[in-house]
């Protein structure tokens, strides 16, 4: 469900749930799950809170407030909880975050890293008496609120997305466990101490430092509030304790908390939202761009059951709410949502840049945007086409039928034939493969360190469906010798991310295009020959994926931002695209050393869409690789192909390269080089030219997200 920003009107509403977090990673995970931003901050006395609204079905909603402790431990938890109750008077409170495991994980039923623990009780282990014979424990326990406990243990199986990759690289789902949560004042990072604590109660599942203070403040308040503790396991509370699992565990706890509230465990304290309210950022249609005809075609002007609707009428606010009520309970992949949106929206619609990595927010955003677009009879109404395409990806037959029935009802309101719309969707998708999001790209930036020329900062992004997804690497700087292993990690993570975005994307994994942005002096390195795993088999990466090099300097360096960039743009935009359009006038050949010296810049400026060299570009030659390729970049040449070793007979080599270029559209050159590399691996002759060719494919339309002054959006 979507959180909407608070308004002055909402300041007087009652808070349904207050969510307490202990550390920054927990609070950020909760805010991310509930779509709360910095603009949702509210200050009361010396504290800062985050406030928003969680939409339910039929116009109902919960008012939510989130808070973070100023420091860990039970005293701070008690103080913050008391402040929350005093200032906000919430109907219920949740403590959401991370905890250490109460076991070593050796037994089958032990809690695993990432598992969520629903606290049946909070066990305070610090109380007791220190006497001559040692400490005599006097533990104290607080039970969870019975109503919340009964509701949370009855929710359907949680299948929602977590949004953070597991540190171990696995795709296993976290288990949802019930048990006692031990709470104290110390960070436990020693196995013997952990085991001693766990021995105090046979049902202890987790160990943390805030549950007791949180529970005590609730129980001792004047009018006791409902409360529940949700903690995900982030370490084993032993000497190997680290923060590696904290982001994942925090995301598990936060997203489960949201899932639990979406199940409506308590009656909302506020009146249902009026679908015609103008202050609702979720449901109110945008009328600022309506024509007079659209404005007159109000649902209110219809006679009950017999509405005559103008064809340009936008979808009603109530219908939008009903659509979101159904879709909000489904687990639809982000790529499926984007694909369906692009297939259903007019060509002039702006590309989706919002909600990357947030499928539910993206889904509601698409519904709202498409609902505001006019129904273009007899063409496919944008929202109805969108719903029809989404329904094909819903496995549950009952939910699929509900969505299709709702779509048919909306069509009746608009006075259009749903069977016609469904037929047109099938025809459009079959004819144009509408909704295709294209190939996924792995963009890798290799930036030389300012302090040591032998070290590099390396970053990677997955680019798919017009959205960038940052990939994680061990913090640098790195020696270039480490790059093959780092590239392997980036490939694996990008494929895992691709599957998390679109569960049907297995066919896309082998279509991943790898583009590596290198400093000019490294453009001639043999990246395509680096060994990468295909299961247990190692093969050159250029035979497994389409691998091209890109210019880091031309993309990032300020020296290329003026005239060279203008050359680059012009050549790319005017490149020949159709088969037969490419001629010798588009090419600049370098068949001997003299071709690399004499007026190379001027030749490239005149006909340099494509630079083809038949002699190797090496650091040791004169002119060296940096000088030659620097000239290629200066002249704006976007495409270049050159060998990394001598090719033998120049005439034979030139014919092979010419055939490679001429036999297909120029834009298919990366595919052709990839096919040649795959074929060459079967040829045992070491001098096969395709084993030693580098392809520069420098598309100015596709650059990393951190590039300043982007030329245009990626395609």
Q: Residue 355: its pLDDT value, please?
A: 62
Distance CA 142, CA 150 (A): 16
Tokens of 25: 């990673």
Tell me which range, 7-21, 56-70, 125-139, is most confidently predicted by mean pLDDT: 56-70
Q: Residue 340: its pLDDT value, please?
A: 84
563 by DSSP, 3-state: which? helix
Q: What is the pLDDT of residues 144-172, one digit of tens each?
A: 999 999 999 999 999 888 988 899 888 88
Nearest to 680 by CA among 528, 457, 461: 528
Distance CA 584, CA 574 (A): 15
605 by DSSP, 3-state: which? helix
Q: Where residue 434 falls among pLDDT bands split at 50, 70, 90? A: very low
Query: 61-75, 311-325, 657-671: which has the minimum mean pLDDT?
Result: 311-325
Distance CA 240, CA 113 (A): 13
Kindly report the average pLDDT of the chain as a whole number: 82
pLDDT surpasses 50 at 298: no
Q: Where residue 2 falls among pLDDT bands split at 50, 70, 90? A: very low
pLDDT surpasses 60 at 396: yes
Q: Residue 111: its pLDDT value, please?
A: 94
pLDDT surpasses 60 at 350: no
Q: What is the dihedral of CA 427, 428, 429, 432, to 10 degrees?
A: 120
Q: Residue 422: its pLDDT value, please?
A: 84
Q: Residue 224: its pLDDT value, please?
A: 80
| Tokens 């979507």 found at | 2
On the question of a cis peptide bond just before residue 212, with omega within 30 degrees of 0, the verdict is no
Q: Which residues contact 619 (CB under 8 A, 6 or more apart)?
A: 521, 524, 625, 626
Distance CA 546, CA 490 (A): 15
Tokens of 274: 């009026």
pLDDT surpasses 50 at 104: yes
6 by DSSP, 3-state: which? coil
Nearest to 206 by CA among 96, 79, 76: 96
Task: Tell me the HSE value of 165 on the side-chain side, using a 13 A CA sphere.
Answer: 19
pLDDT surpasses 50 at 306: no
Q: Residue 504: its pLDDT value, please?
A: 61
Q: Residue 366: its pLDDT value, please?
A: 86
Percent of the chain with pLDDT over 70: 84
Identify the structural domains of the chain with CATH numbers, from first to last: 3-262 (3.40.50.1580), 292-432 (no CATH), 491-697 (no CATH)
H-run or E-run covering 659: helix 650-662
Q: Where residue 432 falls among pLDDT bands split at 50, 70, 90? A: low
Tell me which range, 101-110, 175-184, 402-411, 467-476, is most confidently predicted by mean pLDDT: 175-184
The single-letter DSSP state of residue 64 is E
Distance CA 173, CA 182 (A): 24
The contacts found for 576-583 with CB under 8 angstroms, 24 or more apart, are 576/609, 576/666, 577/665, 577/666, 577/667, 578/665, 579/664, 579/665, 581/666, 582/610, 582/661, 582/662, 582/666
CB 609 within 8 A of CB 576: yes
pLDDT surpasses 90 at 452: no
Q: Residue 220: its pLDDT value, please?
A: 84
Q: Residue 179: its pLDDT value, please?
A: 94
Distance CA 339, CA 434 (A): 8
Q: Residue 648: its pLDDT value, please?
A: 79
Cα separations (Å) of 10 from 90, 99, 682?
A: 14, 34, 69
pLDDT surpasses 70 at 183: yes
Distance CA 264, CA 247 (A): 26
Distance CA 600, CA 607 (A): 11
Tokens of 75: 């005293």
pLDDT surpasses 70 at 178: yes
Task: Dump the DSSP string for 297-356.
Answer: --GGGSPTT-----TTPPPPHHHHHHHHHHHTTS---HHHHHHHHHHHS-TTSPPP-S-T
21 by DSSP, 3-state: which? strand
Strands 140-143 and 467-470: unpaired
The single-letter DSSP state of residue 57 is S
Mean pLDDT of 520-536: 89
Q: Residue 254: its pLDDT value, please?
A: 97
CB 3 within 8 A of CB 62: no
Beta pairing partners, 447? 457
Residue 331 or residue 436, greater confidence: 331
Q: What is the pLDDT of residues 693-704, one digit of tens each?
A: 999 999 988 888
Q: What is the pLDDT of residues 618-656, one digit of tens each?
A: 666 656 778 888 899 999 999 999 888 887 788 888 898
pLDDT surpasses 80 at 665: yes
Percent of the chain with pLDDT over 90: 32
Task: For the chain, state the CA radius of gyration.
Answer: 30
| Tokens 């290329």 found at | 560
CB 405 within 8 A of CB 397: no
Q: Render the burial of 630-651: b for 16+ CB within 10 Å, e for the rest.
A: bbbbbbbbbbbbbbbeebeeee
Query: 180-184, 186-190, 224-228, 434-438: which has the minimum mean pLDDT?
Result: 434-438
The single-letter DSSP state of residue 708 is S
Q: Where residue 288 falls among pLDDT bands split at 50, 70, 90? A: very low
Q: Residue 69: its pLDDT value, please?
A: 94
CB 10 within 8 A of CB 55: no
Q: What is the pLDDT of residues 569-596, one digit of tens each?
A: 889 988 888 878 888 888 888 888 888 8
Query: 126-130, 339-343, 443-447, 709-713: which has the minimum mean pLDDT?
Result: 709-713
């Amino acid at each position: 469900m979507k959180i909407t920003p608070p308004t002055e009107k909402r300041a007087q509403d009652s808070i349904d749930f207050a969510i307490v977090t202990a550390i920054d990673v927990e609070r950020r995970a909760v805010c991310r799950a509930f779509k709360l931003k910095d603009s949702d901050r509210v200050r009361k006395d010396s504290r800062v809170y985050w406030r928003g609204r969680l939409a339910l079905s039929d116009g109902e909603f919960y008012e939510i407030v989130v808070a973070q402790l100023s420091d860990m431990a039970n005293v701070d938890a008690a103080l913050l909880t008391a402040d929350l109750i005093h200032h906000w008077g919430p109907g219920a409170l949740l403590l959401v975050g991370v905890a250490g495991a109460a076991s070593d994980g050796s037994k089958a039923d032990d809690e695993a890293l990432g598992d969520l623990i629903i606290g049946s009780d909070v066990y305070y282990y610090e109380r007791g008496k220190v006497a001559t014979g040692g400490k005599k424990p006097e533990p104290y326990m607080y039970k969870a609120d019975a109503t919340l406990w009964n509701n949370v243990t009855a929710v359907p199986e949680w299948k929602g997305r977590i949004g953070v990759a597991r540190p171990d690289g696995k795709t296993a789902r976290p288990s949802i466990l019930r048990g006692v949560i031990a709470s104290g004042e110390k960070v436990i990072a020693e196995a013997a101490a952990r085991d001693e604590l766990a021995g105090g109660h046979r049902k202890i599942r987790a160990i943390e430092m805030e549950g007791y203070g949180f529970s005590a403040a609730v129980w001792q308040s004047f009018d006791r509030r409902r409360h529940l503790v949700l903690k995900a396991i982030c370490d084993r509370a032993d000497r190997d304790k680290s923060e590696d699992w904290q982001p994942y565990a925090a995301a598990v706890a936060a997203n489960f908390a949201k899932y639990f509230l979406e199940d409506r465990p308590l009656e909302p304290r506020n009146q249902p939202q009026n679908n015609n309210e103008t202050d609702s950022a979720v449901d109110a249609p945008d009328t600022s761009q309506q024509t007079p005809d659209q404005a007159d075609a109000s649902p209110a002007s219809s006679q009950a059951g017999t509405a005559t609707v103008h064809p340009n009428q936008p979808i009603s606010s109530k219908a939008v709410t009903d659509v979101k009520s159904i879709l909000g309970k489904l687990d639809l992949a982000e790529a499926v949502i984007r694909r369906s949106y692009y297939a259903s929206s007019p060509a002039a619609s702006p590309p989706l840049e919002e909600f990357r990595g947030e499928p539910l927010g993206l889904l509601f955003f698409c519904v709202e945007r498409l609902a505001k677009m006019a129904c273009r009879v007899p063409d496919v109404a944008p929202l109805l086409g969108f719903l029809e395409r989404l329904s094909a990806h819903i496995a549950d037959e009952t939910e699929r039928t509900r969505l299709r029935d709702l779509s048919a009802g909306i069509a009746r309101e608009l006075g259009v034939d749903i069977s016609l719309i469904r037929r047109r969707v099938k025809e459009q998708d079959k004819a144009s493969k509408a909704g295709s999001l294209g190939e996924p790209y792995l963009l890798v930036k290799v930036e030389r360190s300012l302090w040591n020329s032998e070290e590099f900062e390396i970053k990677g992004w997955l680019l798919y469906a017009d959205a960038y997804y940052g990939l994680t690497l061990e913090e640098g700087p790195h020696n270039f010798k480490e790059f093959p292993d780092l590239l392997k990690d980036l490939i694996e993570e990008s494929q895992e991310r691709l599957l998390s975005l679109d569960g049907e994307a297995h066919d896309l994994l082998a279509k991943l295009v790898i583009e590596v942005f290198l400093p000019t002096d490294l453009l001639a390195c043999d990246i395509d020959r680096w060994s990468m795993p295909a299961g247990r088999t190692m093969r050159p990466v250029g035979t497994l994926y389409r691998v091209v090099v890109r210019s880091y300097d031309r993309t990032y360096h300020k020296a290329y931002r003026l005239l060279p960039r203008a050359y680059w743009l012009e050549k790319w935009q005017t490149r020949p695209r159709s088969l037969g359009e490419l001629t010798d006038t588009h090419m600049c050949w370098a068949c001997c050393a003299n071709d690399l010296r004499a007026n190379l810049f001027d030749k490239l400026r005149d006909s340099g869409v494509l630079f083809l060299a038949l002699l190797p570009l090496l650091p040791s030659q004169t002119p060296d690789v940096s000088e030659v390729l620097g000239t290629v970049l200066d002249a704006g040449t976007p495409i270049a192909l050159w060998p990394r070793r001598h090719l033998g007979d120049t005439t034979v080599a030139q014919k092979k390269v010419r055939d490679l270029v001429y036999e297909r559209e120029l834009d298919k050159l990366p595919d052709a080089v990839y096919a040649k590399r795959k074929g060459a691996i079967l040829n045992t002759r070491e001098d096969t030219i395709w084993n030693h060719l580098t392809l520069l494919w420098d598309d100015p339309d596709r650059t990393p997200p951190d590039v300043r002054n982007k030329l245009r959006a990626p395609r």
